[in-house]
Amino acid sequence: MVSQMAPDTDIRDNLEKVKARIAAAAAEAGRSAAAVTLVAIAKSHPAAAIRQALEAGHRVFGENRVQEAEAKWPALKAKYPDLQLHLVGGLQRNKVKRAVALFDAIETIDNPRLARAVAAEIACSGRRPSCFVQVNTGDEPQKGGVKPADADAFIAGCRDDIGLAIAGLMCVPPLADEPAPHFALLREIAKRNGVECLSMGMSGDFETAIRFGATHVRVGTAIFGERPAMPADRG
């Protein structure tokens, strides 16, 4: 499902505003703005909207479904070979081959069979997407991610048993919660496991996430405008 872009959506302007807010939040936290990567989440938005962001110089994007990404991104990648694409939605094992072929980062590794499949596909394809472990910081039954209590063992298993390097951790806090404790928990898990990157913070809370050390903020609505409501299916 692809939304119609509002004619007055000025994506270039929105990007500038979000980047200014990132810079201000980083400065306030005593961090460098360059240490925070803005991942522009383009799910449900058409290639025309993405092109506006590319023409404005933006290069890091995210999608939540493999199939939708395959329809939009190969042509854009051909034109902008330096763009980076992150998968931020759940990944089914039967789509691992396609995901490794298309994405430069996979942020949703959350079970050993998936981790093994990604490691095997990396070995045989020669592609090396950065891999993030998604942590279900709110322990929500319907949400992807490893439970916080299982995170240390899972990260160690990826590294030591499966041979999958873990570049970062990712979380999506429960909608109804104050996000700060979730960001603090993710930071703590990363710190004790020596994991470098933290993907946390969305349109409504990325400044808070930056305060808690986010290295990647995933912002959709504040850049591309509202999306039509979509089921949160795995792709």
Ligand X SMILES: *Cc1c(COP(=O)(O)O)cnc(C)c1O
Residue ranges that bind ligand X, judged by CB under 6 A: 41, 43, 64, 88-89, 172, 202-204, 218-222
Picking from 192, 193, 210, the residue whose alpha carbon sits closest to that of residue 201 is 210
| CB 143, min distance to ligand X, A | 10
State which residue, 116 or 218, has the beta carbon closest to ligand X. Answer: 218
| CB 54, min distance to ligand X, A | 18
Indicate the Cα dihedral angle 182, 63, 2, 38, nearest 10°. 70
68-90 as b/e, with b when 16 or more CB fall inside 10 Å? Answer: bbeebbeebeeebeebbbbbbbb
| CB 172, min distance to ligand X, A | 5
| CB 80, min distance to ligand X, A | 21
State which residue, 158 or 219, has the beta carbon closest to ligand X. Answer: 219
DSSP string, 2-63: -PPPPTT--HHHHHHHHHHHHHHHHHHTT--GGG-EEEEE-TT--HHHHHHHHHTT--EEEE
Q: Six-digit token pair at 153? A: 């063992």
State which residue, 34 or 175, has the beta carbon closest to ligand X. Answer: 175
| CB 6, min distance to ligand X, A | 15
State which residue, 162 or 172, has the beta carbon closest to ligand X. Answer: 172
State which residue, 25 or 222, has the beta carbon closest to ligand X. Answer: 222
Residue number of the CB atom closest to ligand X: 220
